[in-house]
């Protein structure tokens, strides 16, 4: 069983920012993933965070179990009649053998113990059940803004990213994924966000929190906001594109 000591909790302290400023997932991605499951009885959303993927999946499944190792995150997840939230780890799911149609992990699997997670998926999935994991890149808004955000990401807080972040940077292509994999369509999330929302999203980064921990009294975000404000329409919104990388396999 995964213990609290092995839980890589990078988000509990900024769970408020995570809940308010993380983008959701495109409906066509959720619909396609759900369509690959052998039935619509039960889906499990691992490391659900504030429940975004779980609630989206609840529109396609009779029941969704949403688990997370962070109570602070679960306390911010909104209720839904088809979703049951539980404090549990992806490597030790509180469900019987061969009872699950879909195991999903949105923006999370790179933190898991891969060997134990995939073994647990083999235990809980029905024959023909599906594992789907996906991640989004940081937003893209146009060359000038992207250069500023890229420089902040790499040069200002780059040394403070946990090593697992590289799987996101590598579009999940280097992620261990021992399943009979299916070809997937391309997906992206599109948002219309204010500068305040974009800075709030950056505030939810684990690297920003670690930067603040190691530099008490220093916050790298105001300088980023000031630089972006010269390019962001004030007080309006800007179209942001979030490329999504999905891998899906079948038991």
Say if 233 falls within a structural domain: no
Reply yes or no on whether the pLDDT at 172 is more than 90.
yes
User: What is the band of 16 on the pLDDT scale with cuts at 50, 70, 90?
Assistant: low
pLDDT tens figures, 136-164:
999 999 999 999 999 999 999 999 999 99
Report the candidate in 9, 209, 185 with the shortest Cα–Cα distance to residue 89. 9
Model confidence band, residue 20 (pLDDT cutoffs 50, 70, 90): confident
Q: Could you tell me the pTM of the whole model? A: 0.89
Residue at 119 is within a domain? yes
Residue 8: its pLDDT value, please?
A: 56
- Residue 10 in this model has a pLDDT that exceeds 50: no
Instruction: Classify residue 236: in a domain, yes or no.
Output: no
CATH code: domain of residue 71: 3.40.50.150
> Is residue 72 included in any domain, yes or no?
yes
User: How confident is residue 17, by pLDDT bands cut at 50, 70 and 90?
Assistant: low
pLDDT above 60 for 73:
yes
What confidence tens digit (pLDDT) does each residue in 100-121 have?
Answer: 999 999 999 999 999 999 999 9
pLDDT over threshold 80, residue 18: no
Report if residue 11 sits inside a domain.
yes
Q: How many domains does the chain have?
A: 1
Burial class (CB in 10 A: 0-12, 13-18, 19+), 124: buried
Q: Which residue has the higher pLDDT, 197 or 6?
A: 197
For residue 30, give its domain range: 6-140+163-190+241-250
- Residue 226, in any domain of the structure: no
Q: Considering only CA atoms, which of 5, 13, 2, 6 is closest in space to residue 204?
A: 13
- pLDDT for the residue numbered 11: 46
- The answer for residues whose C-beta is within 8 angstroms of residue 83's C-beta and 6 or more apart is 51, 54, 55, 58, 63, 64, 65, 66
Q: Is 223 among the domain residues?
A: no
Q: What is the mean pLDDT of residues 51-74?
A: 96
Q: What is the mean pLDDT of residues 225-231?
A: 97
Residue 149 domain flag:
no
């Amino acid at each position: 069983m995964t213990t609290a000591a092995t839980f890589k909790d990078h988000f509990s302290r900024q769970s408020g920012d995570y809940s308010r400023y993380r983008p959701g997932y495109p409906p066509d991605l959720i619909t396609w993933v759900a369509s690959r499951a052998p039935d619509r009885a039960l889906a499990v959303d691992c490391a659900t965070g504030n429940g975004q993927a779980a609630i989206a999946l609840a529109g396609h499944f009779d029941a969704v179990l949403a688990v997370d190792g962070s109570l602070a995150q679960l306390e911010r997840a909104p209720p839904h009649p088809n979703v049951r939230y539980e404090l549990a780890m992806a490597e030790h799911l509180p469900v019987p053998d061969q009872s699950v149609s879909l195991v999903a992990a949105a923006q999370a699997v790179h933190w898991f113990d891969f060997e134990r997670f995939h073994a647990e998926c083999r235990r809980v999935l029905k024959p023909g059940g599906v594992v789907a994991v996906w991640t989004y890149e940081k937003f893209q808004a146009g060359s000038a803004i992207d250069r500023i955000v890229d420089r902040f990401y790499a040069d200002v807080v780059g040394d403070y990213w946990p090593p697992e972040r590289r799987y996101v940077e590598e579009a999940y292509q280097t992620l261990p994924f021992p399943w009979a994999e299916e070809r997937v369509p391309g997906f992206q999330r599109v948002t219309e966000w204010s500068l305040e929302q974009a800075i709030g999203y950056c505030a939810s980064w684990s690297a920003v929190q670690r930067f603040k921990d190691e530099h008490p009294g220093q916050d790298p975000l105001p300088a980023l906001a000031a630089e972006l404000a010269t390019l962001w329409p004030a007080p309006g919104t800007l179209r942001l594109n979030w490329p999504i990388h999905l891998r899906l396999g079948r038991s």
